[in-house]
Amino acid sequence: MAQYRDYLPSQKSWIHDLARAEIHPEGDKMPELARGFDPQQLVEESTVEFLTELRVSFEESVKVFNGYSENGARFPEIKIYGVAQSAADFMLFRNQVKLVIANVAHGIIQFSFSNHSRTAMSFDGLDHAGSAQAPATKTQELTAQIGPFREIYWTFQNERVKPERVAKFYFAEFAGMTRDQRRSKSNNQALLDQIKTILQEKGLDF
């Protein structure tokens, strides 16, 4: 007996369009898949789908990550927001740093880190000194490609990428970049003070 996989409605919508065209051939024009295709529309649809999958992956990571923060008591939580007047763009925010994931041009999804504090921002091995007047910004882009059978796939530096792997990489980068350095320094100082006390009790200089 044949086994059928579960598909998202968008993944099988084309077959419904073909069937409806068979029933009403005198109606609307035949689906683009039967006659040709509109590459611009395919890319636009894929862009929204890829961004949606990215956001789902980011939201799952944010939920688990923030679960350890005890409502911000242990470390600042990461916030995720939609971008107004856009189909699927969104952003992460923590400690004055934003990561905006947006469709900035046809077939291009951009990851833009912006630092609105005066602390240095390190990403991909580069340091960027930020200021309130001129925030440091670092961007990278994914590009859509059309395959031989009209499939759309996304690439980074000409290599195919998957949304879950992309989300994992950028979430880890963002979490590390936005770690509260003041809190870390405070913890380090407390450890040094403890060591100093122990040495003094033993009559040793620190």
CB proximity list for 109: less than 8 A, separation 6 or greater = 47, 50, 51, 54, 101, 102, 103, 141, 142, 154
CB 111 within 8 A of CB 92: no
Q: What is the pLDDT of residue 14?
A: 76
pTM of the model: 0.71
How confident is the model at residue 134, as a pLDDT? 46
Residue 188 structure tokens: 């380090």
Name residue 17's amino acid: D
Q: Report which of 135, 138, 89 is spatially closest to residue 115, judged by C-alpha positions.
A: 135
pLDDT of residue 42: 92
Mean pLDDT for each 10-residue chunk of the chain (206 residues)? Answer: 50 77 70 66 95 98 96 94 95 96 98 75 45 66 94 96 97 93 55 65 60
What distances in angstroms separate CA 101 from CA 8, 13, 119, 120, one per listed residue? 23, 27, 22, 21
Q: Would you state the pLDDT for residue 17? A: 78
Instruction: Give pLDDT, residue 55.
Output: 98
Q: Kindly list the strands in the beta sheet with 108-115, ordered across the sheet, starting from the edge strand earlier in the chain.
A: 79-82, 90-94, 97-105, 108-115, 136-146, 152-156, 159-161
Asked if 170 and 99 touch (Cβ cutoff 8 Å), the reply is yes
